[in-house]
Amino acid sequence: MTDHLELKQLSLDDDEYQDKTNTAYFNVDEIPHASELPPLNGTSDRSIFRESMCVAKQQIGSYVIGEQIGKGGFASVFKGLNTLTGDFVAIKRFDKSRISKEQLSSISTELDLLQRLKHESIVTILGQEENEHYIFIFLEFMENGSLATILNNFGTFPESLICTYVDNVLKGLAYLHSEGVIHRDIKAANILINKAGDAKLSDFGVAGEIKESDKRYSVVGTPYWMAPEVIEISGSVQVSDIWSIGCTIIELLTSTPPYFNLNPMSAMFRIVQDDKPPFPKNISNELLDFLDRCFCKNIEERATAKELLSHPWITKNRTILIHHQRNSSFKQHQQSFPSLDQISKTISVFVSTNDDSENSSHNTSRSSSFRDDDDDSKTNTIAIRPTATNHQSSSSNSPTTNKGDNLENKKAQMEISLLKLKNKELEGELKKESEKLIESEKKYKEILLSAMHYIYIVDSTMNITGGVKQTISDEVAHLRTVMRDQIEIEYFNAFPDDNMVPRFIQRRLTRDTLIHIPKKALEAQKRREKEEKKKEKKDKDKKDKDKKDKDKEKKKSPDSSIIDFSNSSSSSSSNSSSNLLSPTSNSSSNNNNSRSPMVIGKRTTSKNQINITNEINQHITNNVKLTPPTIVNNPNPYPKSP
């Protein structure tokens, strides 16, 4: 067994040990300056002083003893460090000089049991050491101490939290009991909590194994948590721990176990006498039932740990707990999510790294040191930029590696740059090619469209004029149709998605329907032309004949033509006419006129025109006021006789 302890240290009691070792070992800032200390071996060097302080540490095997974290009836408990693994541990130290032989045997029982029992709800033993003065047990470090300490620090717990702890403890107990072990000292002080909040059973000092007989006949444990059968020395059994679980629940709910206001003897008496210990008020029905099952006087009726694990109080709370755990684990994860700031920083660094490599590809003559400095000025995060990191670390360690690394980096960067350049060239070529294609396609489309458009205009012109101006021969028309079809097919094949095609085809269809019209129209036109020419000739002939007749008539009488329209004889009409047109014409003449108004009118108008012309001429010569011509106007051609 290795013992590195200084004899000087062993002579100190616990309090003195703590005062003199803890601060010096764990808080370097409190170490006085070397100049303030008396010289060691004639030197005041600070490093020597530190060495001297380190000698004061207690090292047991690979464990270094730290500050005290607890104290029980038999042992002091310290925080320890495993110098091999870096794990923190709890070191339970028993002072040999202060323990009886009986207690020594209980320590060995605890050691044996802990070494045999391995369960997630039982504190794990990591090893043991012994020297002349102490027995050391190295235990799994339970960061949050005992439930009793937490109860002292934080006050009583809600049912749900108690249930969580009890659930853990019951699992440990179910395991212990299945292994034939009774803990016999279940209480808040012996339930330890790790940093994750898991409860584990500890302190197996009074634990006992049921061997040949079913019961252990001794009064062990802490009075207030003791089961009646243990007090009565009728023998402790596994379910005795269940009674203690009931007492611990009340302890966690109220901060004290039942009968705590009484002295231990009175309390023990009441435990045996009373049907059940008094329950706290305002607890759930499930917990009431749970406690009823724990505080059964009859051990046969008392629930086992396994049974209680499926009690509604436990199962219901377990579901709630799982929910809470999920929530909190999500929150934990959420906390570990990078912040927006971090993300943007990372992106900016990534971009800057890429920029750097791009810059280096364009300017390979830049030195790596220049690049690193430049990087640092852009962002403080260097860790994700391998070039900068490599350069920095290697420059401080080995110049040879630094040179090699830099060369490698440069080479890699050059390769990347070359690849990028090649990619860019290819990209450019492809772009040009596709641009050419697009351009030629565009041109081709334009040609086809304008050709179609031309043909369309030609056709529509013919259609609009009703085929009159269609002067192309059938041969040319046929060629045009073939060309038009070819162009449209070509267009359709080249640009199948273009909606221009259906529009052209549609127009063409309309045109094709109209194309038959000109033929008929042409025939009709020819007929019309012929008829018109015939009519024109006929009219001309008639005009010529009329002219000749008129001339003949004029030679005979100037008014012959007018006279012709009259039913009267030429002589009488001539007379009457002169009479009628005369302003001094008598009424008898008027009477005659009234019998044939149509003829009279005609004649009158003609005469009036002559009269007006004469009057105008006269007026102009005499400068006399013009008076309207007197038109024979008889409102009543047949006046009534008086």
Please, are residues 136 and 93 in contact by the beta-carbon 8 Å criterion?
yes
Reduced to 3 states, what is the DSSP secondary structure of residue 136? Answer: strand
User: Tokens standing for 80?
Assistant: 């320890």
- Which CA distances in Å does 457 have to 61, 204, 454, 464? 108, 110, 5, 10
User: Tokens standing for 99?
Assistant: 């323990």
**Closest by CA position to 58, among listed 83, 86, 36:** 83
State the Cα–Cα distance between residues 313 and 10, nearest whole angstrom. 50
State the Cα–Cα distance between residues 221 and 544, nearest whole angstrom. 159
Q: Label residue 627 left, alpha or beta by phi (over 0 means left) and psi (-120 to 50 means alpha).
A: beta
Q: Using the minimum distance from each CB to ligand ATP, give the nearer residue, 89 or 249.
A: 89
User: Tokens standing for 127?
Assistant: 């090893």
Closest residue (Cβ) to ligand ATP? Answer: 72
State the Cα–Cα distance between residues 174 and 172, nearest whole angstrom. 6
The one catalytic residue among 185, 203, 356, 372: 185
State the Cα–Cα distance between residues 110 and 417, nearest whole angstrom. 69
| DSSP code string of 519-577 | HHHHHHHHHHHHHHHHHHHHHHHHHHHHHHHHHHHHHH-TTHHHHHH-SS-HHHHHHHH
Please, are residues 295 and 134 in contact by the beta-carbon 8 Å criterion?
no
DSSP 281: S
Examine the residue annotation and report whether 112 is marked as an active-site residue of this protein: no
- Which CA distances in Å does 455 have to 468, 488, 493, 507, 515? 18, 11, 19, 11, 13
In the complex, least distance from residue 143 CB atom to ligand ATP, rounded to whole angstroms: 7
In the complex, least distance from residue 304 CB atom to ligand ATP, rounded to whole angstroms: 25
Q: Using the minimum distance from each CB to ligand ATP, give the nearer residue, 205 or 258.
A: 205
- Which CA distances in Å does 463 have to 325, 345, 477, 508? 87, 73, 13, 12
Q: Using the minimum distance from each CB to ligand ATP, give the nearer residue, 202 or 390.
A: 202
State the Cα–Cα distance between residues 77 and 513, nearest whole angstrom. 111
In the complex, least distance from residue 87 CB atom to ligand ATP, rounded to whole angstroms: 12
Q: Using the minimum distance from each CB to ligand ATP, give the nearer residue, 102 or 474.
A: 102
Please, are residues 24 and 31 in contact by the beta-carbon 8 Å criterion?
yes
Interaction site with ligand ATP (CB under 6 A): 69-70, 72-75, 77, 90, 92, 123, 139-142, 145-146, 149, 189-190, 192, 202-203, 205
In the complex, least distance from residue 66 CB atom to ligand ATP, rounded to whole angstroms: 12
State the Cα–Cα distance between residues 387 and 431, nearest whole angstrom. 34
The response to whether 92 counts as a known ligand-binding position is: yes
Please, are residues 103 and 97 in contact by the beta-carbon 8 Å criterion?
no
Please, are residues 476 and 440 in contact by the beta-carbon 8 Å criterion?
no
State the Cα–Cα distance between residues 228 and 210, nearest whole angstrom. 18
In the complex, least distance from residue 311 CB atom to ligand ATP, rounded to whole angstroms: 27
Q: Using the minimum distance from each CB to ligand ATP, give the nearer residue, 140 or 559.
A: 140
Would you call 57 exposed, middle or buried from its count of C-beta atoms within 10 A (0-12, 13-18, 19+)?
middle
Please, are residues 316 and 301 in contact by the beta-carbon 8 Å criterion?
no
* The residue to which tokens 């052209």 are assigned: 504
In the complex, least distance from residue 328 CB atom to ligand ATP, rounded to whole angstroms: 23
In the complex, least distance from residue 12 CB atom to ligand ATP, rounded to whole angstroms: 20
* The residue to which tokens 């549609």 are assigned: 506
Residues with catalytic annotation? 185
Binding residues: 92
Binding residues for ATP: 92
